[in-house]
């Protein structure tokens, strides 16, 4: 079998921009805050438009951290195991639940609706 004719070309990447060479971000990021959720296994985190992190935990609860992590608010309970979570354009939450499937959660009412059942 004949070998294909190729002409390799050496690629030189462009120089990194000045910000890539800085040892820290400008302005510097605040130090991380460790929050005790009193729960196991937050798999994913999404940040709502108000800057509040939202996560799901092993027992099925969907939690929002407010007041810089000083307060934990339960938005809903899927009754399953939320693994992935995304914020929808209308403010709803799209949750991939390992046991129940694809869910939509209204963070105001806490209503959980199954979009696609697992199985």
Instruction: Give the pLDDT confidence score for residue 34 in this predicted structure.
Output: 83
CATH topology of domain 33-117: Thrombin, subunit H (2.40.10)
E-strand stretches of the chain:
45-47, 53-56, 61-66, 71-77, 82-87, 93-97, 101-105, 112-117
C-alpha–C-alpha distance, residues 95 and 55, integer Å? 10
Whether the CA torsion 83, 89, 91, 92 is positive or negative: it is: negative
Average pLDDT along the chain, 119 residues, taken 10 residues at a time: 84 88 76 84 92 95 87 95 96 96 96 94
C-alpha–C-alpha distance, residues 115 and 104, integer Å? 7
Instruction: Give the pLDDT confidence score for residue 64 in this predicted structure.
Output: 95
Distance of CA 28 to the CA centre of its chain: 23
| Residue whose token pair is 């985190």 | 45
Instruction: Give the pLDDT confidence score for residue 115 in this predicted structure.
Output: 96
Instruction: Give the pLDDT confidence score for residue 17 in this predicted structure.
Output: 87
Q: Distance between terminal CA atoms of the chain?
A: 48
Is pTM beyond 0.85? Reply is no
Instruction: Give the pLDDT confidence score for residue 108 in this predicted structure.
Output: 92
Q: Kindly list the domain boundaries of the chain, sorted by start residue.
A: 33-117
Instruction: Give the pLDDT confidence score for residue 60 in this predicted structure.
Output: 96
């Amino acid at each position: 079998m004949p070998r294909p004719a190729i002409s390799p070309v050496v690629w030189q990447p462009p120089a990194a921009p000045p910000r890539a060479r800085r040892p820290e971000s400008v302005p510097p990021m605040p130090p991380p805050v460790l929050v005790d959720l009193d729960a196991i296994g937050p798999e994913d985190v999404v940040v709502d438009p108000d800057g509040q992190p939202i996560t799901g935990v092993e027992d099925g609860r969907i939690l929002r951290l407010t007041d810089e992590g000083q307060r934990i608010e339960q938005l809903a309970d899927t009754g399953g195991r939320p693994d992935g979570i995304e914020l929808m354009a209308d403010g709803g939450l799209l949750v991939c639940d390992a046991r129940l499937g694809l869910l939509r959660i209204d963070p105001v009412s806490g209503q959980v609706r199954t979009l696609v059942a697992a199985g």
